[in-house]
Amino acid sequence: MIRPLIAGNWKMNAAGADGRALAEGVGAGAAEVASACDLLVCPPAVVLAAVADVLAGSAVAVGGQDCHEASSGAHTGDLAAAMLAEAGASFVIVGHSERRADHGESDGLVQAKAAAAHGAGLNAIICIGETEAQRDAGETLGVLSGQIAGSIPEGAAAANTVIAYEPVWAIGTGRTPTVDEVAAAHAHIREQIETKIAEAGEARLLYGGSVNPKNARELLAVDNVNGALVGGASLEAASFLEIARQAAS
């Protein structure tokens, strides 16, 4: 039995006082679900340390939304994985489709970022997923294979690597794949990570894309779905905790 992880990706929302208030809300409800699932919030970098302070001693871990592949240097505007760790992060998301699209991030860059995360002692959440055009063309499983082959670094293990399957067309749209489609994708991912992640059978595979309190139970019950990466519904403590409750029950 793999312990589920319910992760909130706040994206470019909830900084400052809003971020601290959201963290307080999540922290206040965490004890109720913490016996059955792990909780993580990934706030904007400017509020990460403050959120980590709010959640210190709680069951909620904190993560970054991205890191640079280098450990230091002349990289204006970027953050090293070790800086996130120092600010209180234990996880970092890499290769989110919004970064792949907005910043042209390639599989090779995502792999280097995940390696940097591991080097700093962080758990890397590596995101993969097909576009709508790729799904319509019947390319979904091939796209996932390519992203897995290219984005997972040497030294990845179940203890330091989480894979998040996020169909691009399901992000922020209210649309989700059918449970059969999720099951097929996750079974394929489990098979493909066998040679890339040590103890691959234990690695957590998250589903992400329009997860909400209404559909979470069904999505989280799918084979090889070991949690969720939640965007919009993680911006209110009550809906995020309700999703976690469904993972826990």
Pairing mode of beta strands 60-64, 91-94: parallel
Nearer CB in complex with ligand 13P: 87/169: 169
Residue 167 in contact with ligand 13P, rule: CB under 6 A: no
Q: Which stretch binds ligand 13P (CB under 6 A): 22-30, 77-85, 164-172, 214-222?
A: 164-172
E strand segments, 30-118: 38-42, 60-64, 91-94
Q: How does DSSP classify residue 80? A: B
| Binder among 162, 229, 241, 247 for ligand 13P (CB under 6 A) | 229
Residue 208 in contact with ligand 13P, rule: CB under 6 A: yes
Q: DSSP 3-state assignment of 91?
A: strand
| Binder among 124, 144, 193, 211 for ligand 13P (CB under 6 A) | 211
Q: CB of residue 172 vs ligand 13P: minimum separation in angstroms?
A: 4
| Contacts to ligand 13P from residues 57-96, by CB under 6 A | 96
Nearer CB in complex with ligand 13P: 27/231: 231
d(CA 27, CA 138): 42
| Binder among 64, 88, 209, 213 for ligand 13P (CB under 6 A) | 209
d(CA 3, CA 38): 7
d(CA 124, CA 181): 25
24 is catalytic: no
| Binder among 39, 166, 207, 247 for ligand 13P (CB under 6 A) | 166
Residue 241, CA distances (Å) to 68, 88, 132, 168, 247 in order = 30, 21, 30, 24, 10
| Planar angle of CA 208, 209, 215, nearest 5 degrees | 90
Q: CB of residue 106 vs ligand 13P: minimum separation in angstroms?
A: 19
| Binder among 121, 142, 172, 201 for ligand 13P (CB under 6 A) | 172
130 is catalytic: no
- Which residues lie closer than 8 Å to 222 by C-beta, 6 or more apart? 179, 182, 183, 186, 207
Residue 110 in contact with ligand 13P, rule: CB under 6 A: no
| Binder among 193, 232, 239, 245 for ligand 13P (CB under 6 A) | 232
- Alpha-carbon dihedral sign for residues 189, 100, 149, 151: negative
Q: CB of residue 176 vs ligand 13P: minimum separation in angstroms?
A: 9
Q: Of 61, 155, 141, 50, which is closest to residue 112 (Cα–Cα)?
A: 155
Interaction site with ligand 13P (CB under 6 A)? 9, 96, 166, 171-172, 208-211, 229-233
Active centre residues (catalytic) = 96, 166
